[in-house]
């Protein structure tokens, strides 16, 4: 069953709004790095954060005490509804499902909540912070803002979770009591995450992210949200969502990616939106793309926007949709010229492009893909 | 197309026991499996008890290999439950796995943070970090038994396990999948234990669901899995049909992030939708395994909704015996329902002393009772106003 994208929302370190962020990407802009430090450590890291200005319009009483992850999600979700011209009421909210994709969740409040316990004991644990540490807190806030009374799900996973959420939407929409499904991916960045990923040798200390580089120097974490409103009919469709599988060794990831790409390239693929982020992911994706769809144009937005993990899948879908709509690709920043796949090293027209594959190899053992098509 | 959905295998580990046999034995004996917390300090908490799964037994089951020892205990629980399932149904190859959890490998996150904060030993940090993600115990269990299906991990707070089974049910019923593995897991952690204590949702006393003098919940832990299969497919290959899942309802009540709407609208909608989805009437329900956390607010809202919808149906909360295992609870309680159908008894609501005058409920008080059951309902509700109910039916060919 194919689903149509009726509207999209985007909150990124390059600002908010699909058209605005897309234009900046086309112009070759890159998010500004922020140094993150922590009082109890002399280590500091670099991350791409959402600028304060992008959050200016996000004011809801329900979000008064919520962490930024919930604000990002609300902003992107509401943008997707607005873009689709959908206003939810008590009549149609019940026929709308909400699915969230999250990886690390509300890590800022979780760290603060547990930090109080570690520093001064259980008696200092805050009953106000605890509910915000729960994975589904962002979804519950957005459901309350929108008045959704039916199905609300939060999926957790690695960077592939956004595509698993789309697959879930496809399964839910098989039920005719639903008219639409809002899928939101969201993530917030914190020092603790940077430190964890660094100890795992996945994060580098400063930009740039060098996609597809043999050196695999690491990625830079970022934050924000992406959202798509899915309905049954429209010109931009998700033709096929492949939930992929898991890999236990990095070497096995390539097999899964090749299988996903082979399945999704039953119809001619014009471009691949890759999850290459400067880590081991790049080599496995590179080899799979080169072997299965060598003629497809390839783009990754991670060198400009960073690795937003739980939000990343939705960001890639927005990128694919924008590329098909505008028949243009932004430049892949900081990529070497010796890479033998069809990377868009500069802003590049892709006339006649009809189909795109979103390919994701997550950092924590999950891989998935989907195929978008545009009907012109 | 709507297909009938069979349960062809089940596995469980919880404070009630390892496996179906021990679990049904504990349920029938109305055992109180809640004990003093030993995994971390609870000296400053009001509540000091929880339902706990024995580490010694978990490790004994999994062996002492270095890799096994590095895994989070949630992985060991999932492996235990999956081993039981695969032993019953070695041929079952799921196309999808749907698992509920609330906190993944949280205790490893705690070790990591504590070591950072207190300048402790971080040599094991890569192991803690690698085993922290919520999907890891699912992948570990699947890998250990050669199952390769993609996994969707649902984190809908305390409704997660029921949501996972409910979504898996809908996937099979729609005809989109033939076989789905579903369930839930959660392991006790200091952060979550202290969180519920800080909300004063957990009790320093016994857990007394629906009792007039109820003072709150105790936490638990465990893992449970069900193999769901298109009934025709299961019958064609001669699989044992343990029961059918026949309905699922989900609702979101948006009242408050930690409290249900006192009107009971959220639980009521979930139960109504489950009954409608099953195309049965309320009068056909023979037993309700309630969410029944024993908090003032949950039991009041759920009890109100049950008494409005169902007339004198026997109700129990088996959390009184084993604590609330959060993301695992819905899956563990689905297994309790399955055992009640198979072994023809009503699971008990222990520690029950005095009925709440505001709740018109037929509580299965303190002792299990023999009963022939056809259709049973299981409820799970969680933070964020998520509510889920599933209906299970005795299989009659």
Number of compact structural domains in chain A:
2
Show residues of chain B in contact with A119, CB under 8 Å.
117
Please give the share of chain A, as a percent, with pLDDT higher than 90.
Answer: 93
Nearest CA in chain B to A137: B384
- CATH code assigned at A183: 3.40.47.10
Structure ipTM? 0.97
Q: How far apart are CA A48 and CA A70, in angstroms?
A: 18
User: Given phi > 0 = left and psi -120 to 50 = alpha, else beta, which region is A329?
Assistant: beta
pLDDT of residue B259: 87
- Confirm if B349 and B363 have CB atoms less than 8 A apart: yes
The domain boundary residue, chosen from A182, A205, A231: A231
**Which are the catalytic amino acids of B?**
158, 291, 324
| pLDDT greater at residue B51 or residue B259 | B51
Are A118 and B118 an interchain contact pair (Cβ–Cβ within 8 Å)? yes
Measure A214 CA to nearest chain B CA, in Å. 23
Q: What is the CB-side half-sphere exposure of residue A182 using CA atoms within 13 A? A: 38
Residues of chain A scoring pLDDT < 50: none
To the nearest whole angstrom, how far is the Cα of A323 from the nearest Cα of chain B? 28
A143: closest CA among A174, A182, A109?
A182
- Please indicate whether residue A194 or residue B65 has the higher confidence score (pLDDT): A194
pLDDT (0 to 100) of residue B64: 67
Same-domain pairing of A49 and A190? yes
Hey, what are B333's tokens?
A: 């309680």
Q: B24 vs chain A: nearest CA distance in angstroms? A: 31
With CA atoms as reference, the chain A residue closest to B194 would be A122
Judged against a pLDDT cut of 80, whether residue B63 lies above it is answered with no
Q: Give pLDDT, residue A333.
A: 98
Q: How many CB pairs under 8 A join A and B?
A: 190
Are residue A100 and residue A17 in the same domain, yes or no? yes
What Å distances lie between residue A106 and A17, A67, A354, B138, B198, CA to CA? Answer: 23, 7, 37, 22, 18
Tell me the pLDDT tens digit for each residue of B120-160.
999 999 999 999 999 999 999 999 999 999 999 999 999 99
- For A247-257, write each residue's pLDDT tens digit: 998 889 999 99
Contact with chain A for residue B120, Cβ under 8 A = no
Asked if the Cβ–Cβ distance from A154 to B44 is below 8 Å, we say no
HEC string of A55-73 equals: HCCCCCHHHCCCCHHHHHH
Contact B385 A111 (CB under 8 A): no
What residues 169-188 of chain B have any CB closer than 8 A to a CB of chain A? 170-171, 174, 176
Q: Is B191 on the interface with A (CB under 8 A)?
A: yes
CA torsion sign for A321, A326, A331, A335 is positive
Q: Does A171 touch chain B (CB under 8 A)?
A: yes
CATH architecture of B5-390: 3-Layer(aba) Sandwich (3.40)
Same domain, A280 and A202: no
Contact of B385 with chain A, judged by CB distance below 8 Å, is answered with yes
pLDDT band at B257 (very low <50, low <70, confident <90, very high): confident
Spell out a b/e string for A184-217, using b for 16 or more CB atoms within 10 Å of the CB, else e. bbbbbbbbbbbbbbbbbebbbeebbbbbbbeebb
Q: Please give the residue range of the domain that contains residue A353.
A: 236-374
Average pLDDT, chain B: 96
Burial class (CB in 10 A: 0-12, 13-18, 19+), A140: buried
Nearest to B139 among A172, A195, A248 (CB): A248
pTM above threshold 0.95: yes
Residues A190 and A251 in one domain: no
Tell me the percentage of chain B whose pLDDT exceeds 90. Answer: 93
The closest of A104, A115, A13, A117 to A67, measured between CA atoms, is A104
Give the DSSP letter of residue A268: -
Answer yes or no: do A244 and A193 share one domain.
Answer: no
Both tokens of B29, joined, read: 């004996």
> Cα(A7)–Cα(A25) distance, rounded to whole angstroms?
20
- Model confidence band, residue B295 (pLDDT cutoffs 50, 70, 90): very high
**Can you give the pLDDT at residue A188?**
98
> Would you say A278 and A216 are in contact if contact means Cβ atoms under 8 Å apart?
yes
Phi (first) and psi of residue A186, to 5 degrees: -150, 155
Structure tokens at B356: 């709440």
Cα–Cα distances (Å) from A293 to A233, A279, A355, B37, B355, in that order, read 28, 21, 12, 55, 68
Mean pLDDT of B6-12: 98
Distance from CA of A244 to the nearest CA of B (A): 6
Per-domain residue ranges for chain B? 5-390
**Residues of chain B found within 8 Å of residue A41, distances taken between Cβ atoms:** 116
* Chain A environment of B114 (Cβ under 8 Å): 118
Specify whether A186 is located in the same domain as A320: no
Asked if A150 lies within 8 A of B385 by C-beta distance, the reply is: no
Residues A258 and A213 occupy one common structural domain: no
Task: Please tell me whether residues A201 and A312 are part of one structural domain.
Answer: no
């Amino acid at each position: 069953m194919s689903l149509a994208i009726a509207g999209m929302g985007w909150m990124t370190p390059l600002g908010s709004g699909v058209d605005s962020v897309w234009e900046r990407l086309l112009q070759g802009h890159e998010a500004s790095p922020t140094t993150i430090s922590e009082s109890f450590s002399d280590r500091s890291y670099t991350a791409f954060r959402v600028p304060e200005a992008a959050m200016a319009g996000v004011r809801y009483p329900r979000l008064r005490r919520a962490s930024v992850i919930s604000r990002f999600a609300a902003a992107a979700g509401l943008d997707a509804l607005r873009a689709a011209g959908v206003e939810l009421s008590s009549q149609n909210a019940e026929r709308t499902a909400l699915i969230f994709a999250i990886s690390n969740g509300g890590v800022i409040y979780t760290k603060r909540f547990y930090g109080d316990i570690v520093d001064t004991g259980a008696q200092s644990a805050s009953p106000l912070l605890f509910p915000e540490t729960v994975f589904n807190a962002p979804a519950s806030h957005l459901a309350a803002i929108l008045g959704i009374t039916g199905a609300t799900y939060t999926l957790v996973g690695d960077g592939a979770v956004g595509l698993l959420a789309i697959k879930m939407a496809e399964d839910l929409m098989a039920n005719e009591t639903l008219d639409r499904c809002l899928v939101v991916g969201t993530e917030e960045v914190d020092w603790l995450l940077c430190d964890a990923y660094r100890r795992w040798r996945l994060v580098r200390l400063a930009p740039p992210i060098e996609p597809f580089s043999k050196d695999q120097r690491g990625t830079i974490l970022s934050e924000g949200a992406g959202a798509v409103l899915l309905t049954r009919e429209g010109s931009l469709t998700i033709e096929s969502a492949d939930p992929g599988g898991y890999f236990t060794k990095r070497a096995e990831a390539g097999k899964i990616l090749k299988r996903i790409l082979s399945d999704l390239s039953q119809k001619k693929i014009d471009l691949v939106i890759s999850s290459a982020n400067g880590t081991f992911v790049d080599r496995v994706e590179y080899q799979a793309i080169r072997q299965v769809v060598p003629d497809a144009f390839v783009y990754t937005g991670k060198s400009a926007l960073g690795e937003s993990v739980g939000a990343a899948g939705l960001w890639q879908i927005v990128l694919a949709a924008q590329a098909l709509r505008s028949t243009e690709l932004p430049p892949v920043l900081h990529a070497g010229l010796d890479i033998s796949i069809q990377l868009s090293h500069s802003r590049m027209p892709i006339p006649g492009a009809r189909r795109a594959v979103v390919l994701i190899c997550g950092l924590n053992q999950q891989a998935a893909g989907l195929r978008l098509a545009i009907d012109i | 197309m709507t297909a009938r959905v069979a349960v062809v295998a089940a596995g469980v580990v919880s404070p009630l026991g390892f496996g179906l046999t021990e679990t049904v034995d504990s349920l029938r004996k109305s055992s109180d499996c809640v004990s003093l917390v030993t995994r971390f300090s609870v000296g400053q908490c009001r509540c000091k008890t929880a339902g706990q799964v024995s580490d010694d037994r978990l490790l004994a089951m999994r062996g002492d290999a270095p890799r096994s020892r590095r895994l989070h205990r949630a992985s060991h629980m999932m492996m235990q439950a999956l081993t039981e399932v695969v032993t019953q149904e070695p041929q079952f190859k799921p196309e999808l796995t749907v698992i509920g959890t609330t906190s993944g490998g949280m205790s490893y996150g705690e070790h990591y943070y504590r070591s950072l904060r207190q300048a402790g030993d971080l040599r094991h940090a890569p192991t803690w970090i690698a085993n922290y993600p919520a999907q890891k115990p699912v992948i570990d269990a699947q890998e250990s038994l050669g199952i390769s299906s993609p996994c969707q991990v649902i984190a809908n707070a305390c409704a997660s396990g029921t949501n996972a089974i409910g979504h898996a049910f809908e996937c099979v019923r729609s005809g989109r999948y033939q076989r789905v593995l579903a369930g839930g897991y959660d392991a006790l952690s200091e952060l979550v234990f202290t969180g519920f204590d800080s909300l004063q949702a957990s009790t320093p006393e016994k857990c007394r669901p629906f009792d007039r003098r109820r003072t709150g919940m105790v936490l638990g832990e465990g893992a449970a899995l069900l193999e769901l299969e298109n009934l025709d497919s299961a019958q064609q290959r001669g699989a044992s049909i343990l029961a059918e899942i026949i309905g699922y309802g989900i609702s979101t009540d948006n009242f408050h992030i930690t409290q249900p709407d006192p009107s009971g609208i959220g639980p009521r909608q979930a139960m109504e939708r489950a009954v409608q989805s099953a195309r049965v009437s309320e009068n056909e329900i023979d037993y309700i395994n309630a969410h029944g956390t024993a908090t003032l607010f949950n039991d009041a809202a759920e009890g109100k909704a049950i008494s409005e919808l169902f007339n004198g149906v026997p109700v129990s909360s088996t959390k009184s015996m084993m604590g609330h295992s959060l993301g695992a609870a819905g899956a563990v309680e689905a297994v309790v329902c399955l055992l009640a159908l198979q072994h023809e008894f009503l699971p008990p609501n222990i520690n029950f002393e005095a009925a709440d005058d505001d709740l018109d409920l037929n509580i299965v008080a303190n002792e299990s009772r023999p009963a022939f059951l056809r259709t049973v309902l299981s409820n799970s509700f969680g933070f964020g106003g998520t509510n889920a109910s599933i209906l299970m039916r005795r299989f009659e060919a």
